[in-house]
Amino acid sequence: MKLTDGQGVDVVCENIADPTLWSEALNSLAIGGRLVTAGAHGGGTVKLDVKRVYMRRLRIIGAAGTNLPDVDKALQAARAGKIRAIIGRTMLLGEAAEAHRILEANQTLGKIILDPTKE
């Protein structure tokens, strides 16, 4: 919400269903926002603030699996620069344990890349 001056985002795509991250994803949505969920690596059981869902007219969309035409469209969009990953930082592969500590402490915005080509 800080990044959007309190407006929130239109869409959150999440594939973890982690109980801690789920509520933050839901809380980051703008009025009429959509949360697309496509995985449950974090356990799959989360708390749902139903009042927030109906007061802010939010939609939760399950998206199990994929199909080749959708993958092709996504790759084309990425090639065209329409989709970009947010890279929080790049670290050496040997710093993987530290990268995990940073992630567990929620001290990054974006992905951490582990680069095996640098010393």
Tens-place pLDDT, residues 84-116: 888 999 999 999 999 999 988 888 888 899 998
Question: Could you tell me where the DSSP H helices lie in 1-119?
Answer: 19-27, 50-55, 68-79, 96-104
pLDDT tens digits along 42-81: 788 899 999 999 999 999 998 777 788 888 998 899 899 9
* In the predicted structure, residue 119 carries a pLDDT above the cut 80: no
Given a contact cutoff of 8 angstroms between Cβ atoms, the answer to whether 7 and 30 are in contact is yes
Q: How much is the pLDDT for 15?
A: 85
Q: How much is the pLDDT for 102?
A: 92
Q: How much is the pLDDT for 1?
A: 86
Round to whole Å and give the CA distance between 96 and 44. Answer: 26
Round to whole Å and give the CA distance between 94 and 88. Answer: 18
Round to whole Å and give the CA distance between 39 and 101. Answer: 23
Whole-model pTM: value is 0.57
What is the set of domains in the chain, with CATH numbers? Answer: 1-64 (3.40.50.720), 85-119 (no CATH)
SS3 content of the chain, % helix, strand, coil (to 5): 35, 25, 40
Total count of residues recorded for the chain:
119
Q: 87 - beta bridge partners?
A: 111
Residue of 19, 59, 60, 54 lying closest to 40 (CA atoms): 19
